[in-house]
Amino acid sequence: MHALFVVVQHDDEEQALQTLHREVIPQVQQSPGFSRGTWFGNSRTGNSLVLFDTEEHARQAAPPVGTVMPGAVVVSCDIYPVLGEA
């Protein structure tokens, strides 16, 4: 299992939330190897933690840093092996 951790900065929170729910989440759910995901943030920053069955699948789903979406831009994207869960 591998975790994809993405951070975005948004300048329009409402638009970023619409994009998240209408485009990002449905698209990620259809990604090969998707297990589950959580999206969280505040008025300036959004974060996602999405679990995939393999590192390869996590890499395939990873957006490039600098990707611009309506209301937001990807500022970091990292992949980590999952070491434990509760």
pLDDT tens by residue, 5-44 = 999 999 999 999 999 999 999 999 999 999 999 999 999 9
- pTM exceeding the 0.85 threshold for the entire prediction: yes
Model confidence at 45, in pLDDT bands (50, 70, 90)? very high
The pLDDT score that the predictor gives to residue 38 is 98
* Residue 79 · residue 62 · CB < 8 Å: yes
What are the domain boundaries of the chain? 2-81
Q: What is the CATH number of domain 2-81?
A: 3.30.70.100
Beta strands per DSSP E along 1-86: 2-10, 34-41, 45-52, 68-69, 72-81
